[in-house]
């Protein structure tokens, strides 16, 4: 037997929450009267009024979706740099270099998912590596020591 999880309802709009505060403050309505008029539970009315009293605002809490990524922006740039400098590098080698150079310990699947999320596939990595090599050869050919 399968169970379907119900999605949480979206929070009420900020405008709707401000109307609740306005009814309470300007019209001196009770939470019970507000809940009947706005078709909302008394508990929600009280929660919005308390939130307003504590913070002066009625904005909903920001929703976090899943855990924070283990590889942040800095590590992503480091990954790109390592790939550009070491064409043909394997994921486990990236893992070792991230740990040794930057003190970042992550699994190979995490590196793979991060690269995929960044839009890095073999073709893109190969294209970037070719561009880096071209730029390096142009820079080298124009240097006074050539």
How far apart, in whole angstroms, are the C-alpha atoms of residue 57 and residue 37? 22
**Phi, psi angles (nearest 5°) of residue 62:** -70, 140
pLDDT score at 88 = 78
pLDDT score at 42 = 96
**Phi, psi angles (nearest 5°) of residue 39:** 55, 55
- What are 90-124's pLDDT values in tens digits? 888 989 999 999 888 999 899 888 888 887 776 66
pLDDT score at 57 = 92
Does residue 71 sit in helix, strand or coil? coil
pLDDT of 5 > 60? The answer is: no
CB 29 within 8 A of CB 23: yes
Domain residue ranges of the chain, discontinuous segments joined by +: 14-55, 73-141
pLDDT of 2 > 70? The answer is: no
């Amino acid at each position: 037997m399968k169970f379907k999880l119900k999605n949480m309802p979206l929070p009420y709009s900020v405008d709707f929450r401000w109307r609740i505060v306005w009814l309470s403050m300007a019209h001196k309505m009770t939470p019970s009267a507000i809940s009947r008029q706005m078709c909302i539970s008394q508990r929600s009315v009280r929660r919005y009024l308390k939130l307003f009293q504590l913070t002066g605002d009625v904005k909903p809490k920001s929703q976090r979706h899943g855990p924070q990524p283990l590889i942040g922006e800095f590590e992503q740039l480091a990954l790109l740099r390592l790939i550009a400098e070491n064409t043909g590098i394997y994921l486990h080698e990236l893992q070792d270099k991230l740990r040794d150079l930057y003190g970042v310990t992550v699994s190979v699947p995490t590196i793979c998912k991060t690269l995929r999320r960044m839009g890095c596939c073999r073709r893109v990595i190969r294209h970037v590596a070719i561009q880096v090599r071209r730029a390096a050869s142009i820079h080298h050919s124009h240097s006074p020591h050539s």
